[in-house]
């Protein structure tokens, strides 16, 4: 499990979540995004294309990051959720809190 | 993670085809490895998709709750996991040393006033991912049932 971080030409940061986003690694994701935010980045995409599962702590860290980014005038989008993960966001009603696109490319195009 | 996890797998001549037991130290860094260890030994009666998502997520929730709220991160204590598997599916018992809690008292995380809270979704998520959830009377053991399929 790991997180990759890439910045495109326009400065949009794309974070890939490989494996799982859970209680044991959520702080690592949070730190990476906060560091990028402190470094001036304001537009973020978190790509779940390679993610198997997310627990409630993982959901919680996304809620927290979304708030932090919005407070700085930025924007966070989520992309690449498989059917199960999409259902998880729907049943927790977090799909109403996040901008979610099918692919990271769609998320990038929407900025 | 300094303590290696030891999964004990038995095939008793009784009610279940396979019984697995695992003691997990009360530190959150063990949740991911413990989930992977059990998921790798999941019974064939569960589909790969249900093992990948439902079993892993629900077990991660149960372990995290037991470590954080039950044993309060006390590394001298362990969370005890017992998995009973057969052709009908799997039952996972997760037990901590805590005083227990009242599951009915946990607020609904989907209410508008709770939606932006960082915590409080664990039990709600867990209930939606397995076929049945039961607690012992003391409230310090949860039993998750995933039926075959």
- Report pLDDT digits (tens) over B28-67: 999 999 999 999 999 889 999 999 999 999 999 999 999 9
Domain assignment of residue B1, yes or no: no
Among A1, A55, A61, beta carbon nearest to B60? A55
Domain assignment of residue B21, yes or no: yes
Domain range spanning residue B71? 8-147
Domain assignment of residue B63, yes or no: yes
Q: What is the ipTM of this complex?
A: 0.88
- pLDDT value of position A54: 96
Query: What domain count does chain B have?
Result: 1
Domain assignment of residue B16, yes or no: yes
Domain assignment of residue B139, yes or no: yes
Domain assignment of residue B2, yes or no: no
- Taking a C-beta distance cutoff of 8 angstroms, is the pair B41, B9 a contact? yes
Question: What is the share, in percent, of chain A residues with pLDDT greater than 90?
Answer: 95
Domain map (residue ranges) of chain A: 2-110
- CA-derived radius of gyration, chain A: 13
CATH topology (fold) of A2-110: Transcription Regulator spoIIAA (3.30.750)
Cα angle B131, B134, B139; round to 5: 150
- pLDDT value of position B52: 92
Query: Does A94 sit within 8 Å of B118, measured CB to CB?
Result: no
- Taking a C-beta distance cutoff of 8 angstroms, is the pair B141, B95 a contact? yes
Average pLDDT value for residue range B95-122: 92
- pLDDT value of position A76: 97
Domain assignment of residue B25, yes or no: yes
Query: Does B49 sit within 8 Å of A63, measured CB to CB?
Result: no
- pLDDT value of position A20: 93
Residue B140 has pLDDT above 80, yes or no: yes
Q: Which residue has the higher pLDDT, B105 or B72?
A: B72
Model pTM score = 0.92
- pLDDT value of position B128: 95
Domain assignment of residue B3, yes or no: no
- Please write the tens of the pLDDT for every residue from A49-75: 999 999 999 999 999 999 999 999 999
* Other residues' Cβ atoms within 10 Å of the Cβ of residue B117: 14
CATH number of the domain that residue B129 is part of: 3.30.565.10
List the structure tokens of B125.
């998520």
Residues of B in contact with A89 (CB under 8 A): none
Residues of B in contact with A86 (CB under 8 A): none
Among A1, A53, A60, beta carbon nearest to B52? A53
Residue A1 has pLDDT above 70, yes or no: no
């Amino acid at each position: 499990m790991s997180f990759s971080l890439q910045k495109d030409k326009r400065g949009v940061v794309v974070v890939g979540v490989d494996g799982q986003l859970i209680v044991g690694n959520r702080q690592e994701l949070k730190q990476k995004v906060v560091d990028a935010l402190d470094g001036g980045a304001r537009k973020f995409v978190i790509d779940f294309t390679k993610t198997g599962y997310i627990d409630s702590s993982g959901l919680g860290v996304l809620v927290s990051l979304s708030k932090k980014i919005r407070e700085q005038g930025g924007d966070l989008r989520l992309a690449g959720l498989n059917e199960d993960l999409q259902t998880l966001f729907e049943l927790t009603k977090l799909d109403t809190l996040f901008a979610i696109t099918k692919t990271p490319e769609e998320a990038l195009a929407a900025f | 993670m300094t303590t290696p996890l030891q999964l004990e797998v038995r095939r008793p001549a009784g009610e279940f085809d396979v019984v697995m037991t695992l003691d997990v130290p009360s530190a959150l860094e063990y949740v991911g490895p413990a989930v992977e260890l059990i998921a790798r030994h999941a019974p064939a009666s569960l589909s790969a998709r249900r093992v990948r998502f439902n079993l892993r997520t629900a077990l991660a929730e149960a372990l995290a709750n037991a470590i954080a709220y039950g044993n309060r991160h006390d590394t001298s204590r362990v969370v005890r996991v017992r998995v009973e598997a057969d052709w009908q599916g799997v039952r996972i018992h997760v037990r901590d040393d805590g005083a227990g809690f009242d599951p009915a008292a946990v607020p609904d995380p989907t209410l508008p006033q709770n939606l932006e809270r960082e915590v409080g979704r664990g039990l709600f998520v867990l209930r939606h991912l397995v076929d049945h959830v039961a607690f012992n009377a003391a409230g310090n053991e949860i039993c998750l049932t995933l039926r075959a399929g």
